[in-house]
Amino acid sequence: MTASDKRSGSAFGTIGFIGLGAMGSRMIRHLKAASGLLLHDADMALAGKIAAELSAEGVPARAANTLADFAAVDVLILMLPDSNVVDQVFRGVDQSVESATGGVLSWLRPGTLVIDMGSSTPGRTIANQAVARTRQISFIDAPVSGGVGGAQAASLAVMVGASEAEFERARPLLACLGSKVIRAGEVGAGHAVKALNNLLGATILAASAEVFAIGEKFGLDPAVMHSIVDASSGGSFMSNRVWPKAILPQTWDFGFALALMNKDVGIAMALIDSTGVQTVLAQANAKIWADATKQAAAGADMSEIARQFRVAAGL
């Protein structure tokens, strides 16, 4: 990704953004090159606040109080929690691919590019693309990895499911949000690789939590053990980023919800089932995360998995 990819001016036209949670509220601040920003969220007071802050910085931004306002956009970004919400907002339906009535789709102009940047189910992403095509609208997926910190710093990894032409259209805009923008394949591929990546990350985090609990129970100092593991073959993103921030200091707050990780693991498991591949580690890991989610308090961070392993070890 070169500096020329991060264009300035109004090259992106008017951008609509729906979903201003922990990630979206940070990502939107890197899209100041748009000729206009339209913001919408379930919490419209938050949308108005962010729009006012951007306007104070000289960015033409406003809250979109109705979906009809999005008739003016050239690009619409969806940063929503799952396919149920995406389907409801985009088409006004739940798990139905038979109709395209209701939702923001009813208001979009032909030629609009819609980018689903949340963690959605690949098959339902493909279904949304098919419905969008009937209205001459492009629908692609571009989920991200890197957490709140990556959203804040515009250093996210963006994995894109799109045709080559749609990818080239979206790439300069996505480069404003992430330091690495990679085309994973056709529509649905981005969401597939995101789910599988999080399944792998969740497995590594659960395994490391178990190993560290064993080490601490034996009598090892967790900080010393971490310094060795992180510099050795057992090191990973989890040891390098999650352990120092959330687990060693026992803040249990890395910035990614336990429930969201469990959801992504579930998406990956459904994808595995669709391939017919038989798994052992993935099945065991899915149960660990599902059980941990049931035991945890609402809103718990994914680092809660390590706390639960410590408790189970009697620490």
pLDDT, one tens digit per residue, over 131-149 is 999 999 999 999 998 888 8
Give me the pLDDT at residue 92, please.
84
Asked whether 184 and 160 are in contact (CB, 8 A), the reply is yes
Instruction: Collapse the DSSP code of 250 into the 3-class scheme (helix H, G, I; strand E, B; otherwise coil) and give the result.
Output: coil
Rounded Cα distance, 191 and 194, in Å: 5
What is the rounded CA–CA span in Å between residue 180 and residue 206?
26
Distance CA 199, CA 87 (A): 23
* Cα within 13 Å of Cα(261), Cβ side: 34
Q: How far is it, in rounded angstroms, from Cα 128 to Cα 89?
A: 11
Spell out where 45-131 has E strands.
61-63, 75-78, 113-116
Task: Give the C-alpha distances (Å, rounded to integers) separating 294 from 203, 208, 261, 262.
Answer: 18, 21, 13, 10
> In 134-254, which ranges are continuous DSSP H helix?
147-153, 164-174, 189-218, 222-230, 237
Q: Could you tell me where the beta strands, DSSP code E, fall in the chain?
A: 14-18, 36-40, 61-63, 75-78, 113-116, 138-141, 144-145, 156-161, 178-185
Residues 158/144, Cβ–Cβ less than 8 Å: yes
| CA neighbor of 309 nearest in space, from 200, 201, 211, 241 | 211
- Whether the Cβ atoms of residue 39 and residue 95 lie closer than 8 Å to each other: no
Please indicate whether residue 194 is annotated as part of the active site: yes
Q: Of 180, 194, 217, 263, which residue is the catalytic one?
A: 194
User: For position 10, what pLDDT does the model report?
Assistant: 53
CB-facing half-sphere around the CA of 210: CA atoms within 13 A: 9
Alpha-carbon span 308 to 65, nearest angstrom: 42
**Angle of CA points 120, 288, 271, to nearest 5°:** 30
Ranges of residues in the chain whose predicted pLDDT is under 70: 1-11, 93-102
End-to-end CA distance of the chain: 46
For residue 116, which amino acid is it?
D
Both tokens assigned to 12: 């992106």
Q: Rounded to the nearest 10 degrees, how much is the dihedral formed by the CA atoms of 80, 84, 90, 96?
A: 160
**Segment (H or E) for 243:** none
Alpha-carbon span 62 to 44, nearest angstrom: 11
Mean pLDDT in the chain? 91
Please report, for the chain, how many H helices and E strands are present, in that order.
12, 9
Query: What CA–CA distance (Å, rounded) separates 147 from 155?
Result: 10
**Residue 308 backbone dihedrals phi, psi, to 5 degrees:** -65, -35
State if pTM tops 0.75: yes
